Amino acid sequence: MKRRDFLKAAAGGAAVLCTGGAAQARENLQPAPQAVGMLFDSTLCVGCKACVSKCKEVNGMPPVIRDGQVQFDSASDLSGDTLNVIKIYKDGTAKVKDSEVDGFAFEKRSCMHCVNPGCVSVCPVTAMRRDPATGIVTYHADACIGCRNCTVGCPYNVPQFEYDNPFGQIQKCQMCNQAGVERIDNGQMTGCAEVCPTGATLFGTREALMEEAKRRLALKPGEIYNYPRGDLGKPYNSHEKAAPEYKQHVWGEKEAGGTNVLHISSIPFDKLGMPPLGERSAASIAEGVQHTLYSYLALPAVALAGLTYVVRRNTDDDGGES
């Protein structure tokens, strides 16, 4: 290939790349029709960490060992053997529950089961998958090549790699519905919702949980409300309590295209450590552009043209045209 041929090929490729650059990002995906999820109400959480322990039990994960002692419920962050943690917000004297000033509050961290999951979008081999019926996002070790793209594609920093394991895999909450667990498929609720004594973690369909969240946000502070616990579809008990002053925000209704795990709180979510996210998911933008590029084979074409030119030039006895 002569230089002018290469330039022609490259120009053609560049034109296609430009087409790709102007490609329309796809729209955000909508929640799955039968999506299941959880509602975490920070104002109900008492920090007991029963959910942390139950999560370890359900997933067969080892307890945290500190100074030779088992610290079964004391993991401070997500890791290769902890899929759910309770974090604390504190301000000033930290004396008043759910007060932004001089108060404290609890926040649950586990996979949000995004409607437009970044981890799925960046995984090159479909080891991360979103169930189109339930919306649950699961990890499949048999397909994983260990690239760890998912750990950077997740806006919540959820997927964790087992660095201390020579055959390390990714670990994340799979809503208790991975091979060998399958609580949801068997009609059970998630382990963390089952043991939560206050209903701070509530299981149900995303639709019903969203309605429940909005009912709570509409309560007047001090108004008595009957809070269910367990599975919102079949709560086996509930308790009455005066409503707090909720922030008028259901986290996960819109953030980055929405999540199946929803949070409500009396503390602004940025103070609870949630990331700044717009409504558009990174997955919808990146996938739209990538798919356009690859549909025109722009990247392979340019790469092939360039490589061909270099190889030909380096192997041409006459040195080729310069």
Q: Which residues bind ligand SF4 (CB under 6 A)?
A: 45-51, 54-55, 58-59, 83-84, 86, 106, 108, 110-114, 117-119, 137, 154, 156, 158-159, 172-173, 175-176, 190-192, 195-198, 200-201
Cα–Cα separations (whole angstroms), residue 163 to 80, 144, 148, 172, 181 = 8, 15, 11, 14, 24
Choose among 138, 120, 41: nearest CA to 83. 138
Beta carbon of residue 6, minimum distance to ligand SF4 (angstroms, whole number):
41
Largest CA distance in the chain: 90
Residue 13 or 149 with smaller CB distance to ligand SF4: 149
Nearer to ligand SF4, 25 or 173 (CB): 173
CB of 149 to ligand SF4, least distance (A): 11
Measured distance CA(264)–CA(173) in Å, rounded = 20
Nearer residue to ligand SF4 within complex by CB, 11 or 125: 125
Residue whose CB is less far from ligand SF4, 259 or 292: 259
Nearer to ligand SF4, 55 or 262 (CB): 55
Q: Cβ of residue 88: shortest distance to ligand SF4, in angstroms? A: 10
Outline where DSSP puts E strands in the chain.
36-41, 64-66, 69-71, 85-90, 96-97, 103-109, 128-130, 137-139, 160-161, 170-171, 201-205, 224-231, 237-242, 261-264
Q: Please state the closest distance from residue 45 (CB atom) to ligand SF4, in A.
A: 3
Q: Which is nearer to ligand SF4, 111 or 127 (CB)?
A: 111
> What spatial distance separates the first Cα and last Cα of the chain, rounded to whole Å?
12
Q: Compute the least distance from the CB of residue 321 to ligand SF4, in Å.
A: 50
Paired tokens of 194: 């089952």
Only one residue has tokens 């942390």, namely 52
CB of 231 to ligand SF4, least distance (A): 12
Query: By three-state DSSP, how is residue 318 classified?
Result: coil
Is residue 91 within 8 Å of residue 100, measured between CB atoms?
yes
Give the shortest CB-23-to-ligand SF4 separation in angstroms: 23
Which lies closer to ligand SF4 via its Cβ, residue 27 or residue 316? 27
| Residue from 110, 117, 108, 135 nearest 36 by CA | 135
d(CA 73, CA 151): 24
Nearest 5 degrees, angle CA 104-CA 270-CA 119?
120
Smallest gap, in angstroms, from Cβ of residue 121 to ligand SF4? 8
Q: Which is nearer to ligand SF4, 92 or 197 (CB)?
A: 197
